[in-house]
Structure 1
Amino acid sequence: MLQQQLRGTGVALVTPFKANEDIDWHALEKLINHVIEGGVNYVVTLGTTGETPTLSAEEKLDLIKFTFEKVAKRVPVVVGIGDYSTNDVIKRLQKCPLDEAAAVLSVAPYYSKPTQEGIYQHYKAIAAASPKPIILYNVPGRTGRNMTAETTVRLAHEVENIVAMKEASGDMAQCMHIIKNKPKDFVVVSGDDVLAMPQIACGMEGLISVAANFFAKDVSDMVTAALKNDYATAQQLHYKMLDGFELMFAENNPAGIKAFLQQNNIIQNYFRLPIVPATAALQIQIKEYLEKY
């Protein structure tokens, strides 16, 4: 059942803010309804796209509860809980309200640059402590350390409570080695909007998307078509959005996606430092792109 829930399109929700930097709960409710109505298969709260490093512990708990309430079981909810301290992740797993969560998305430990054995032991420890299944998340561009295909496959085979992976290394050969050697019921999804279609062709089973905050229907339709081997449709949608993907990540995530979302009046374009809004030049490019989209 869980493996089926994680197939398709997940969306890593942004955290909307007001001008005074308070969380904009009304905008977040609008965003949740927008992505669900657009056809996403599940939502992810407290991902990096949600600016989680800037959120207090109390705000994180409030965001989890609010997301459960507003999603109202229309789609599954995955909760992001990761850190460079294994003990801190375990403590948060024990404190967070996870009863309604489908799974926990946990990023590989960042900044510390552990060895592959350190990454393995980190995930083994948190999987043993977690009340919910764990989704591995490899994003070396943010963490500073790549989790190799060998480490991923080892975790997938040896640790029962690890059920899936979000792979965002951008290394297609590494992705293929994971897909080739993983257990049959271990789900691998893309973490790169621009690579999702070819990665599904290689055997991935979906995408956890940033772009689906805005392009909810088109991203969902692209992933669904690719999973049905309808690559004529998937390619058409991929190339329709390609320039948008590049604009979205030209400067920073989530600065790009928030600039897009401001254009359809779902959220306001506010952040907490050290993230700042997209430059005026990029915002003009985004507006011109959307006028033609």
Structure 2
Amino acid sequence: MLRKISGTGVALVTPFKSDLSIDFEALTSLVNHCVDGNIDFLVVMGTTGESVTLSLEEKNAALDCVKQANNNRLPIVLGIGGNNTDYIIQSFSSYNLDGVDAILSVSPAYNKPTQEGIYQHFKAISKISPLPIILYNVPGRTSSNMTAETTLRLAHDFDNIIAVKEASGDMQQIMEIISKKPIDFKVLSGDDAITLPIILMGGNGVISVLGQALPKDFSSMVKYGLEGDLKASKELHYKILSFVEPLFVEGNPAGIKTLLNLKGICKEEVRLPLVKSSAKLKSIFEQKLNKLV
């Protein structure tokens, strides 16, 4: 039975040591920090996890570490996606999917497929996936928007496509999906800044970057929003909103790793072609954390 994939999910970073090897101790601390902060589910090997700079061996090692640290407390979602459909299909056999609850699969980047191409891509993955699939639309990275029509077509045609992570920033598109989706299909925000507006329009939660640094505040905002408590959710929304813009101004996950470093969870190290955040950005986060009550 599928465990709950709604509420506040977080796209975990992959912490690195100074030599850029994976810091499994820090990753374990991060998982516990999220569980203790009332996060609802964990996402491994997304964009924030720097998956494109990790070898298959490293991806599996990080996944195993998260499973062990999580100890079955929260659902786990694994990122498996790309722009080579056949390669993605073959890659399912490269992971130990025991203990994984769902797959997060991003719409193809660089190729810039048509909407029919996007549909056929996810249809092919749906046919072979042993786990439920969360679609991921992030045109800012893929240069190709998955329209509401395509998302809804996939949602209605394939029972194992259970949700979409919507990071288009297009509220009209997102509201169209919410208003026409199958009843059990989930719409998850992929944008921290508009998570609450999406929830208040009928969305089901978020896959967040900021949530792993401020888990209690972020998860409470989502919880109150889902419960219809506008006053409490809005108060938390504006409390944490000031972190969102600086979080991404020098790239993701450089910003979130700096914030996590200031909270004593992991180093700031990222792998090229990404670089660490500037001293200026670190100072901005220090000031914001000092003001956070």
Normalization by structure 1: what TM-score?
0.98
Assess if the C-alpha contact under 8 Å between 2:16 and 2:270 holds in 1.
Answer: yes
Q: Is the partner of 2:249 in helix, strand or coil? A: coil
Aligned length: 292
**Of 59-68 and 44-53, the range deviating more from structure 2:** 59-68
Provide structure 1 residue ranges, at least 5 long, that are not aligned to the other structure.
none
Amino acid at match of 2:281: L
Partner residue in 2 for 1:124: 123
Residues 1:175 and 2:178 aligned together: no
Q: Is the partner of 1:183 in helix, strand or coil? A: coil
Partner Cα distance (1:64, 1:258) in 2: 19
Partner residue in 2 for 1:65: 64
Q: Is the partner of 2:243 in helix, strand or coil? A: helix
Correspondences of 1:1-293 after superposition (within 5 Å): 2=2, 5-293=4-292
Measured after TM superposition, the shift of residue 174 of structure 1 is 0.2
Amino acid at match of 1:147: M
Measured after TM superposition, the shift of residue 204 of structure 1 is 0.4
Assess if the C-alpha contact under 8 Å between 1:94 and 1:130 holds in 2.
Answer: no
Amino acid at match of 1:136: L
Amino acid at match of 2:158: V
Assess if the C-alpha contact under 8 Å between 1:21 and 1:271 holds in 2.
Answer: yes
Partner Cα distance (2:26, 2:65) in 1: 12
Assess if the C-alpha contact under 8 Å between 1:14 and 1:50 holds in 2.
Answer: yes
Q: Is the partner of 2:163 in helix, strand or coil? A: strand
Assess if the C-alpha contact under 8 Å between 2:41 and 2:74 holds in 1.
Answer: yes
Consecutive aligned runs of 4 or more in structure 1 exceeding 3 Å deviation: none
Assess if the C-alpha contact under 8 Å between 2:9 and 2:206 holds in 1.
Answer: yes
Assess if the C-alpha contact under 8 Å between 2:126 and 2:133 holds in 1.
Answer: yes
Provide structure 2 residue ranges, at least 5 long, that are not aligned to the other structure.
none
Q: Deviations over 1:238-274 (max 9, x none)?
A: 1000111111112211111011001011001101001
Assess if the C-alpha contact under 8 Å between 2:27 and 2:65 holds in 1.
Answer: no
Amino acid at match of 2:147: T
Measured after TM superposition, the shift of residue 44 of structure 1 is 0.5
Assess if the C-alpha contact under 8 Å between 2:189 and 2:207 holds in 1.
Answer: yes
Assess if the C-alpha contact under 8 Å between 2:165 and 2:187 holds in 1.
Answer: yes
Partner Cα distance (2:123, 2:133) in 1: 10
Q: Deviations over 1:26-66 (max 9, x none)?
A: 00000000011000001000011000000001111111111
